[in-house]
Amino acid sequence: MTNLFIRKLSRRVRMSDADIEALSAATSKMLYYDADHDLTQEGSKPEFAYVILDGFACRYRIMQDGSRSILAYLVPGDGCDLHASILTQMVHSIGTLTPCTVATIPYRVIKELAAYRPNVYLALWWSVLVDESILQEWLVSVGRRSSDKQLAHFLCEVLTRLQAVGLALEPDYRIPLKQSELADTAGLSHVHVQRVLSDLRKAKLIEVGRKGLVVPDLERLKAFAEFKPDYLHLSHLDEAPPPPAPLDLANATKDDFEKRFGRNRSFRDQNP
């Protein structure tokens, strides 16, 4: 059994069949949520990491004046807060934007993977680093791009990320984002977002519908937005295998692991 998350990671980090089996077991518990449902809330100390398998979610913060700031979109195949357990508490919330299918991974299982599946653990870190890279690009967008290019850039990013996991390949795919959500992402008012989208529509770069946006020609939109996908680090793995990353955790034993994932060569057997 596999899923979008595993397929995405296995294209970036070399993993054995046993690695993939372990990751598959870790993400097998699925939950279904409606739109506008919070998975975790600011100030809490969650016990699970999440993997989005279907639907759109986001990280967000509510400011003192009630306005919302969206910090990240989570699309199918994305993990979120895979390592938040290292930090003391969440400083933002995670909520669904559309109905979502979500896999949960208890942090205890992540610790086990850290101890016995170094390549899986490395893959999870890869995912965290890509998130950080996206965050940097968003900061650039909000700080330095004009509002039309900024919105176009977001749309290019979302489509590119979806296409990287085999979704949204058809040119009439509707991005299920509301204008108010784009506004809270870009730090603009919803009125201004409407006017900018209007202009993009007049330029035939997008089509605006009631339930989302359609990008008929992604390449043209990319050219307009000066979109360079390097920061998504999507290139296929082609180099030497990445460094092993074992973590010796006191509360996970080899026995625990084998009961859960079956007998396999542990990290210690294959590495000094």
Binding window for a copy of itself (CB under 8 A); candidates: 2-10, 152-160, 179-187, 198-206: 179-187
Please check whether residue 56 is in contact with residue 96, taking contact to mean a CB–CB distance below 8 angstroms: yes
Give dist(CA 125, CA 166) in Å, integer: 22
Within the chain, strands assigned E span 30-33, 38-40, 48-54, 57-62, 68-74, 79-80, 93-96, 100-106, 174-175, 207-209, 212-214
- β-sheet with 57-62: strand ranges across: 38-40, 93-96, 57-62, 68-74
Q: In this structure, are residues 113 and 26 in contact, taking their beta carbons and an 8 Å threshold?
A: yes
Please identify which residue in 30, 208, 223, 237 interacts with DNA, judged by CB under 7 A: 208
Decide if residue 139 touches DNA (CB under 7 A).
Answer: no
CB of 192 to DNA, least distance (A): 3
Strand partners, 32: 101
CA distance 259 to 109: 12
Judged by CB under 8 A, the chain residues 196 through 235 that form the site for a copy of itself are: 226, 230-231, 233, 235
Cβ(78)–Cβ(72) below 8 Å: no
Which entry of DNA, a copy of itself, none binds 138, CB below 5 to 8 A by partner kind? a copy of itself
Query: Which of 219, 258 has the CB closer to DNA?
Result: 258
Q: Which does 78 bind (CB under 5 to 8 A by kind): DNA, a copy of itself, none?
A: none
Q: Check binding of 146 to DNA (CB under 7 A).
A: yes
In angstroms, the CA 248 to CA 225 distance is 45
Q: How far is the CB of 220 from DNA (least distance, A)?
A: 20
CB of 19 to DNA, least distance (A): 41
Establish if 179 lies at the interface with DNA (CB under 7 A): yes
Is residue 187 close enough to count as binding DNA by CB under 7 A?
A: yes
The answer to whether 259 contacts DNA (rule: CB under 7 A) is: no
188 binds DNA (CB under 7 A): yes
- Is residue 268 involved in binding DNA (CB under 7 A)? yes
Query: Which residues, numbered 45-84, are part of the site for a copy of itself (CB under 8 A)?
Result: 45, 59-69, 71, 83-84
Q: Which of 30, 139, 203, 208 binds a copy of itself (CB under 8 A)?
A: 139
Decide: helix, strand or coil at residue 72: strand
Task: Give the binding-site size for a copy of itself (rule: CB under 8 A).
Answer: 93
